[in-house]
Structure formats: structure tokens, C-alpha cells
């Protein structure tokens, strides 16, 4: 099965930059989107009859997630059943016979780490949520997780230490998640690969210079590690300041 995750940074804008061509070329089993910035029906989407699952923020034009798939789930959930966390459209869970798929757009800690306390609460509650799912069946957790976990995951770790997405606290939460029974699929296959990034600032010609960050992930339950066939960063795909990431599993 082929899974793709992409922060499109506004789906309506991305539709004007080749989104449908990319979708038709790849034909994934699951396409998980973050930062859709829209509600269902606000743009015309020809997805060949795929099912569409949307979680839009209360605030118009902000955040939001979506999953497109031809595979009908056994059950669906929007958010994590928490009033504290469920107003920004950040989480979609689809249940299937052999796994849960969780599409996530993690809150940014923001400049000056002014939202760091909330971000850390989110991380703790999200980890508890994933572990509750994992007790039933394996989890495939993907999205823009807004953290570069290791120094190898961004171009300039020394100058960025302590910045949003590379604070010690955020990195420690990713370490804690992985230690609780999950694996970073890309690092399972490529533990030492450098220069592999999924987001680049629009400033300073960052993408041309590959001065980026790897903040988009597929995290899987440890018992799925031996099912990983491919884990790729599709860095040649434009249309957003993020590129898509791909996971193929033998399921």
C-alpha cells in the first residue's frame, strides 16, 4: 500500500500549481494533507471517485487536514475527543482491518516559543492517544509534525537550536514518542542520510540551496518496521513550501 503525506499550505493555491497532476501520477492508496486552509466544497476536486475525509478549523482559512482514499474505513474520528485540542482541524483517524491511519498537523510553537506550553500538552495527549490506538492494532501516523528531531534533520542545526521546531523540548517529545513503541520510517531505511529535507523557507533561496528541514514524517508502530518497502521524500515536487513524503508498506 502506498501512503503520501503533504502539507499543501493552502489546497486551493496548490490546485493551481499541479496538485491534481501529482495525484493522478502517483495514485496513492492514501493521500493525507495538512494545512488545507479550506472546507470541503470550497474547491472543485476531481479525484476519480475517491472518498474524502475533512477536518477543518473553526477559524476560516486556517490549519485543517484531509485524507483522500478509495478504501472505505471501518470507522473515522476527527480530533482526539478533547475540547482543548479539537477546534483547529488538526487530526483525522481512519480505522481499517489491520491498522489505524492518523493524519496530523502538529501545532507550531511559534516565534519566541510563545505557544510552546500548549505544544507540549498536545504532544503528551497525542502520544497517549496513539498508544491507546496501538493497543488495539498498529498505527501509521503521518503529517507535518513541526519538529526536526535530530541535527541531521536540518541544514543549520547550531544556529537554529532553540527556535520553533528545533527546541530541546520539542525534540525530546519526539524522542519520547519513538521510545514508546514507534519508529521513524525514513530513518529505519536511511539512518544516516543527510540533506534530506521536506520544508524550505520561502526566503533566501532556501529551496534552491537545499537549506531545509525534515519536519514531515511517517511514524509507524514498531511491529510494522519490517513491512516498510519504501520511504521517500519527494523533494522535486513543488506547489508548496513543503514537499510530499511517501511510505510504501507490505500490508
Query: Residues with catalytic annotation?
Result: 105, 144
CB neighbourhood size of 10 (10 A): 18
The rounded distance, in Å, linking the Cα atoms of 179 and 69 is 30
Residue 214 contacts residue 244 (beta carbons within 8 Å): no
The closest of 59, 64, 22, 18 to 40, measured between CA atoms, is 64
The C-alpha cell at 122 is: 498536545
For the four alpha carbons of 150, 153, 159 and 161, in that order, the dihedral sign comes to negative
Cα separation, 189 vs 160, in Å, equals: 26
Stated length of the chain: 251
The closest alpha carbon to 8, from 195, 238, 246, 233, belongs to 238
Amino acid at each position: 500500500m502506498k501512503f503520501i503525506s503533504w502539507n499543501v499550505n493552502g489546497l486551493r493555491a496548490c490546485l493551481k500549481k499541479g496538485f491534481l497532476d501529482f495525484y493522478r501520477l502517483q495514485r496513492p492508496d492514501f493521500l493525507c494533507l495538512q494545512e488545507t486552509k479550506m472546507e470541503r466544497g470550497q474547491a472543485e476536486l476531481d479525484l476519480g471517485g475517491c472518498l474524502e475525509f475533512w477536518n477543518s478549523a473553526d477559524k476560516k482559512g486556517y490549519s485543517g487536514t484531509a485524507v483522500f482514499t478509495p478504501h472505505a474505513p471501518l470507522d473515522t474520528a476527527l480530533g482526539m475527543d478533547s475540547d482543548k485540542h479539537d477546534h483547529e482541524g488538526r487530526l483525522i483517524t481512519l480505522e481499517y482491518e489491520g491498522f489505524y491511519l492518523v493524519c496530523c498537523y502538529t501545532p507550531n510553537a511559534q516565534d519566541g516559543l510563545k505557544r510552546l506550553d500548549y505544544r507540549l500538552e498536545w504532544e503528551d495527549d497525542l502520544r497517549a492517544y496513539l498508544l491507546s490506538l496501538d493497543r488495539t492494532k498498529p498505527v501509521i501516523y503521518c503529517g507535518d509534525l513541526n519538529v526536526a528531531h535530530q541535527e541531521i534533520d536540518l541544514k543549520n542545526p547550531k544556529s537554529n537550536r532553540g527556535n520553533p521546531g528545533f527546541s530541546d523540548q520539542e525534540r525530546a517529545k519526539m524522542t519520547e514518542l519513538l521510545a514508546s513503541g514507534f519508529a521513524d520510517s525514513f530513518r529505519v531505511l536511511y539512518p544516516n542520510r543527510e540533506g534530506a529535507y521536506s520544508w524550505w523557507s520561502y526566503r533566501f533561496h532556501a529551496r534552491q540551496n537545499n537549506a531545509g528541514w525534515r519536519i514531515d514524517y511517517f511514524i509507524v508502530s514498531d511491529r510494522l518496521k519490517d513491512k516498510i518497502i519504501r520511504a521517500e521524500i519527494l523533494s522535486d515536487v513543488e506547489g508548496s513550501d513543503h514537499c510530499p513524503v511517501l511510505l510504501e508498506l507490505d500490508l
